[in-house]
Amino acid sequence: MAEDRQDRRYPQNLQGVLQLAVEAGSAAEGPAPIEPMSEERKTWLREALAEVCKGQMDEVEQMKQCLAVLRNEGTSTSEREGEEERDEEEDEDERESAFEMLSELCENLDNARDLMILGGLELCLSQYLCHVQSGLRWRAAQLIASCAQNMPQVQVHLLSMGALPKLLQLTDSDPHPTVRVKALYAVSCLVREQEAGLQAFLSHDGFSVLMRGMQSENEKLRTKSAFLLLNLLTSHPEQKDTVVSMGMVQQLVSVLRTPHSPFHEHVLGALCCLVEDCPQGLKDCTNPALGLEELLRQRSRELRGKEESQEELDFCEHLRGMCFRGQPSDDNGMDR
């Protein structure tokens, strides 16, 4: 049975899905005698498949039209001579709408691949990630994320064009908060479950970018930075020593000392990762100068009884258990 599943080819487009559905429907009827398909049914099927294909073609045409709008950005001054000057605000709105339509269309994996073939990703990288208008920068990053998510072919293509260092730079230093958040989203789509992306992330000091993201004033950026750190440490435990050597334990504890926020759950989860099977991480956490034991004890008291904070409390008490098991508590036996 396993060999049958491996050999089976699954449809890669809507036409294939429809054909598979027809075949499955026929198979579900059991071993009834096979009768020739009537001409009427053949005609219906041909028309249905034609409509499906037409829909796909329409979407490709829509993407081409959106790209034509976006490529006007590169029209030279001489080519614009003699044309009526366009209102800048109207022009920006039109391009933002083009990006939004492309992002929606590229939730379909086939469309994401087609956009890559049409040169849309190169356009994002060359003209729009560095655009003066923040609304166009973040929409370009969002489109890159939409295309890269769960698409190894697109991920490799973007990495080969140097997308990751540009996105990390935006995450780290763009003046507009939404651009930073969307850029980090795109980074996440390029490095999670993608070995080449992880290596590029490491070579461009990506963990330091996440560290600074968790220390920013932008709540969404802090949350997404902490979540990506936790995800990478969980998926790639071999990176623990690298992260610990950067002083990440001390930085994460300093983050926990800021006013409480839901993203602290991810921070505590990351600390748990850095302690487990990592002697240096454990040593850093148990350093008395860090004051982590008292901080965790206090946080546990604050979280206890709050249903919405149960996962954070679990991380907190798990970290206490790994780091300070057997040490006296001042909670009068009320830790658990």
Closest CA to 126 of 157, 94, 92, 166: 166
**Residue 72 burial by CB count (10 A; 0-12/13-18/19+): exposed, middle or buried?**
middle
- Which amino acid is located at 51 in the chain? E
**Quick one: DSSP state of residue 119?**
T
Of the candidate CATH numbers 1.20.1250.20, 1.25.10.10, 3.40.50.300, 3.50.50.60, the domain formed by 92-200 belongs to 1.25.10.10
Ranges for all domains in the chain classified under CATH 1.25.10.10: 92-200, 205-324
Output the pTM of the full model. 0.77
Confidence of residue 81 (pLDDT cuts 50, 70, 90): very low
What pLDDT, on a 0 to 100 scale, did the predictor assign at position 16? Answer: 55
**Quick one: DSSP state of residue 214?**
H
The pLDDT > 90 percentage for the chain reads 71
142-171 tens-digit pLDDT: 999 999 998 999 999 999 999 999 999 999
Distance CA 199, CA 206 (A): 10
Q: 205-324 — its CATH code? A: 1.25.10.10
Cα separation of the two ends of the chain: 48
Contact (CB, 8 A) for 163 and 120 = no
Choice among 31-40, 114-123, 249-258 with the minimum mean pLDDT: 31-40
Measure the CA angle with vertex 88, ends 87 and 94; round to 5°: 95
CB proximity list for 76: less than 8 A, separation 6 or greater:
none
Closest CA to 147 of 138, 157, 137: 157
Q: What is the 3-state secondary structure (H, E, C) of 137-186?
A: HHHHHHHHHHHHCCCHHHHHHHHHCCHHHHHHHHHHHCCCHHHHHHHHHH
